[in-house]
Amino acid sequence: MTYRGPVRRSFPVPVVSLTLALVACLAAGLAVVAGQPGSTAAEHRPEAVAAAAVSSRQVHLQRFAAPQTWKQTATERRYGRTYQGSRWKSPWVAPGFDYTELITSWSARTPGSSWISVEVRGRAASGAKTSWDTVARWAAKDRFLSRRSGGTQGDDGTRLATDTWRTAGLASYRIRVTLRREAGRKSPRVDLATVMTSRLPAVGAVSAPGVARGVELAVPRYSQMIHTGHYPQWGGGGEAWCSPTSTSMVLGYYGRLPGPGGYGWVPGGHPDPWVDAAARSTYDHAYDGTGNWTFNTAYAARRLGPSGEAFVTRLRDLTDAELLVRAGIPPVISIAFSRGELTGAPISASNGHLLVIVGFTATGDVIVNDPAAASADGVRRVYSRAQLEKVWLQASGGAAYVVHDAAHPLPAAPGGNW
């Protein structure tokens, strides 16, 4: 059974009779992970659903580059302001299989008080259509808009789980993006939108070591734990910031971290203040956390500018990750694990954690930057290929942030997933 780990935090959850919990989770289609007794419980979100067992891993990524045909739409009163709007709709896209999960990503600029909304609609093979569901209302900054995902919207067989739209199996989809601005003010701009659809099998045999053996990228090492207790209003503070810390490591690798002007509000002497800035810029007011995958790639895309890309997709296994690493692109992956499942990890268990793959040993084991280490000195880790691949594919179906600049173009994608 492949399932989607529900939470993007990186500290253990308490033990509550593991045997009974596992029985219950299998019956309900939910993931339950054990951790250290007495540790702080990570927040759960109701989104872990068993993926359909199919014969092969099916993933499709559709790109919409700089949409051009925008139509004026009705004004909207929100946040004490009146906003004009223009809207773009994609054509219907059929990925070639009945998808069960869909994740949107975007690269957008939202000057001043402007913002965007992203919606999705599906269509069955019979032609029956779902309603439009809101994926997110998003702005790069938080002065005027409380950035948020759309909420569950559980109707007509679909529902949104923070960043992932789940279906029982639909044949096609379309998205629409609405730009909102006050009269006389600058409008948002969308440089790229992507949509990843997938239908996943059970986890199979461990992949064989591939093309990136012996390669290690010079990705800077940041610890989320040195931010423990800082800015708890953004998802609970640094101990929960595995996602923005991982995103910051990748941006640091490309030399695209914010400068002092982007984190001037952080107290002087604060270590790695760009991580605090990333947490603020990825915080989802609906989810109440910084682990929204799409918000992290949207932040990375804004930092890279139009010459770079950042999006969420699913990789087939570590073979795909090796192709990216060989091309100089370090992917961020989403994992979850119980005690004893990931030897050498800085925490004993997690029901949702993100880290950066930075390389592979000569024997194919995985070199990572794990932000859960107590300090930067312990961030670099080497994990068993078999163990990491299992806790990644089982927890998130191979979910990854792919972030790259113009100097590191994407390699050919054998699976059509980037």
Instruction: Give CA angle at 277 (325, 294), nearest 5°.
Output: 55
In a structure prediction context, what are the per-residue pLDDT tens digits for the chain, which is 418 residues long? 222 333 343 333 332 332 322 223 323 332 322 232 222 333 333 233 333 333 478 999 999 999 989 999 999 998 889 999 999 999 999 999 999 999 999 999 999 999 999 999 999 999 999 999 999 999 999 999 999 999 888 878 899 999 999 999 999 999 999 999 999 999 999 999 999 999 988 777 899 999 999 999 999 999 999 999 999 999 999 999 999 999 999 999 999 999 999 999 999 989 999 999 999 999 999 999 999 999 999 999 999 999 999 999 999 999 999 999 999 999 999 999 999 999 999 999 999 999 999 999 999 999 999 999 999 999 999 999 999 999 999 999 999 999 999 999 999 998 899 9
Q: What is the pTM of this model?
A: 0.86
> Which residue has 């989810």 as its token pair?
287
Please provide the distance, in angstroms rounded to a whole number, between the alpha carbons at the two ends of the chain: 25
Residue 115 CA from chain centroid, whole number:
20
C-alpha–C-alpha distance, residues 185 and 115, integer Å: 12
45 CB contacts (<8 Å, ≥6 apart)?
Answer: 6, 7, 161, 162, 287
277 SS3 class: helix
Per-residue confidence (pLDDT) for residue 340, from 0 to 100:
98
Per-residue confidence (pLDDT) for residue 152, from 0 to 100:
87
What single string gives the DSSP state of each residue in 171-236? SEEEEEEEEEE-TTSPPPEEEEEEEEEEE-----SPPPP-TTBT-B-------SGGGTTS-TTTTT
CB atoms within 10 A of CB 208: 10
Q: Which amino acid appears at position 1 of this protein?
A: M
Per-residue confidence (pLDDT) for residue 358, from 0 to 100:
99
Question: Domains plus CATH for the chain?
Answer: 58-199 (2.60.120), 225-404 (3.90.70.10)
C-alpha–C-alpha distance, residues 119 and 137, integer Å: 9
Per-residue confidence (pLDDT) for residue 78, from 0 to 100:
86
Per-residue confidence (pLDDT) for residue 145, from 0 to 100:
92
Per-residue confidence (pLDDT) for residue 170, from 0 to 100:
98
- Give the tokens for residue 174: 């379309």
Per-residue confidence (pLDDT) for residue 18, from 0 to 100:
28
